[in-house]
Structure 1
Amino acid sequence: MLTGHRLEVWGDPIAHSRSPRLHAAAYAELGLDWQYGRRQVAEASFVPTVEGLDAAWRGLSLTMPLKNAAARHAVTLDDDARRTGAVNTLLLSEDGPRGFNTDVAGLARALVDYGVAAPRRVRILGAGATATSALVSAAGSGAREIEVRARRPEAAGPLRALGEDLGVAVTAPVLDAPAPEPVDVTIATLPGGTDLGPIADALASVGGPLVDVVYGGWPTPLAQAWRRAGRDAHDGRGMLLHQALLQVRVFVGGDPALPLDREDAVLAAMRAALVGD
């Protein structure tokens, strides 16, 4: 049973988070008098802080470095959280926290917005936690071949194993390997200021549109390379928007697959809040 009305986004750092603005717009549109704030929480203090919440709390949004800790603490995980080992949404119930990863479907919905509804070949730059969600998202969107480029190919080992479980062929050349093959879309999960030099131009020439999942410092060096190649480059706001909408579904109805009442109006209000940020 869910009775609480308080929600927050937690992370370290957290001051940059746009989640309070997005969620406030959604609940205002739904006519819900819910409170959504933000709190800086270190990974070491995550569990005792969660356990100290009272019945006024309904749920939490989690950003780095708390997603793996949240997955370990949840009493249940949805399929995307289980596959990635990461939770960005905790629904607090009497039976314990239920964990969801809305980043996966949020990215897939953003790809549809960008005209990449069913990519067959995908390139992912980076091999961290966000890359894991990107791989699951790409596989769910129909990708059959995924190239993961990382500075250390061994870092992509878990992603190759995950690809086998998902029935997707995953290759892992080094980040600056020459002669890249054409792909339908490139998803960058590297730190926003990463400059790959000449290899960025080579990647852009055959990389399809770029989704660089960062929110600040735009355009990034990667985005600039894509623009030089005459290709589209998108920042992380589309993914942020859609994963937040799915979080609202979880907090309101308990299920990221259950649409909201007047969802089109809610999404429009959230999109306007994001544009105005």
Structure 2
Amino acid sequence: MRCAVLGDPIAHSLSPVLHRAGYDAVGLDWTYEAHRVAEGGLADFVATLDEAWCGLSLTMPLKREALDLADRVSDAARLAGAANTLLLVDGAVHVDNTDLPGAVSAIRERFESSVTSASILGAGATAASTGLALAELGVTTLQVHARNAERAAPTVAAIGAHPTAPEVTVRGLAEATTGEVVVSTVPAGAQDAATVERTAGAAVVFEVIYDPWPTPLAAAATQRGQVLVTGLDLLVHQAALQFTAFTGHAAPLAEMRAAGEAALVARST
């Protein structure tokens, strides 16, 4: 069987490393590749797939357009307004969002205290899924820091539609963050000294970027002694859920994480 991760850019993705390690651990002779697919190209790619294909992992900029292809949309994908997982089932397309439950697991693995307020840097599809994860964990007030308030509207609407109805406000990227948790979905190059300084008051810094590593925010969090939830934590937990959806096997989480850690070390040397 064949699976793959799609996106643009895609060369940096660790998903092939994680999924292949999972296949090796459970003894599956499956393949998992990375394919660069630009915005607007998902439908054409899916149209070329034959019965050997089982599923796709989706990254930016394809997460929202996946919904338009779906015959079935999971509750998580509908809530987030985005899908990172596409399953091919008897000729039908099913989509899901494992970023949301993956983010919940990633945070809880590192931080068990209550969470009531938070800030998110960035306003794309990943911001929506992590914002919903924060609502699942009990956050009632959330600030979304965006370059463009108008473009943040779908993310704000998605988070606000959570059954707990958290209060969501939009602020500029240069405004102060608040809350126990700060989530960063912005590129490392956008993390200037002022941005890093604004995260100093949080108990938890959740850096969803994993390449390059460490990012300025991650390095500062480590130096300050803040709890750091990493992009690899999120990647492993969401990939484990995808792995089970694709294969029907329980995901070998330890082996997948070890493979990801080794790959990041190799990239940094």
Alignment of 1:46-125 (within 5 A): 46-116=42-112, 118-125=114-121
Alignment of 1:188-199 (within 5 A): 188-199=184-195
Question: Equivalent residue for 1:39?
Answer: 35
Q: Tell me the TM-score normalized by structure 2.
A: 0.89
Contact 2:199–2:205 (Cα < 8 Å) also in 1 = no
Question: Equivalent residue for 1:256?
Answer: none
CA deviations on 1:105-157 (whole Å, 9 max, x unpaired) are 11111101111464221111111121111111111122111111223334433
Question: Equivalent residue for 2:258?
Answer: 272
Distance 1:109 1:202, change over 3 A: same
Alignment of 1:113-192 (within 5 A): 113-116=109-112, 118-166=114-162, 167-178=165-176, 180-181=177-178, 183-192=179-188
Question: Equivalent residue for 2:208?
Answer: 213
Alignment gaps of 5+ in structure 2: 264-269
Q: Structure 1 residues 75-84 or 149-158, which shifts more?
A: 149-158
Distance 2:6 2:113 in 1: 31
| Displacement after TM superposition at 1:199 (Å) | 4.7
Distance 1:13 1:195, change over 3 A: closer
CA deviations on 1:34-74 (whole Å, 9 max, x unpaired) are 11112222233321221111111111111112212222111
Q: Structure 1 residues 83-92 or 143-152, which shifts more?
A: 143-152
- Letter aligned with residue 269 of structure 1: E
Contact 2:106–2:229 (Cα < 8 Å) also in 1 = no
How many pairs were matched up? 261
SS at match of 2:57: strand
Q: Structure 1 residues 140-149 or 51-60, which shifts more?
A: 140-149
| Displacement after TM superposition at 1:22 (Å) | 0.6
Contact 1:153–1:173 (Cα < 8 Å) also in 2 = yes
Distance 1:65 1:216, change over 3 A: same
1:230 equivalent in alignment to 2:216:
no
Segments of 4+ in structure 1 off by > 6 A? none
Distance 1:117 1:34 in 2: 40
Distance 2:158 2:245 in 1: 26
Question: Equivalent residue for 2:198?
Answer: 202
SS at match of 1:146: strand
Question: Equivalent residue for 2:266?
Answer: none
SS at match of 1:251: helix
SS at match of 2:206: strand
- Letter aligned with residue 217 of structure 1: P
Q: Tell me the TM-score normalized by structure 1.
A: 0.87
Distance 1:21 1:220 in 2: 21
Contact 1:104–1:136 (Cα < 8 Å) also in 2 = yes
SS at match of 1:67: coil
Alignment gaps of 5+ in structure 1: 254-259
Distance 1:56 1:117 in 2: 45
Distance 1:185 1:34 in 2: 38
Distance 1:216 1:199, change over 3 A: closer
Question: Equivalent residue for 1:257?
Answer: none
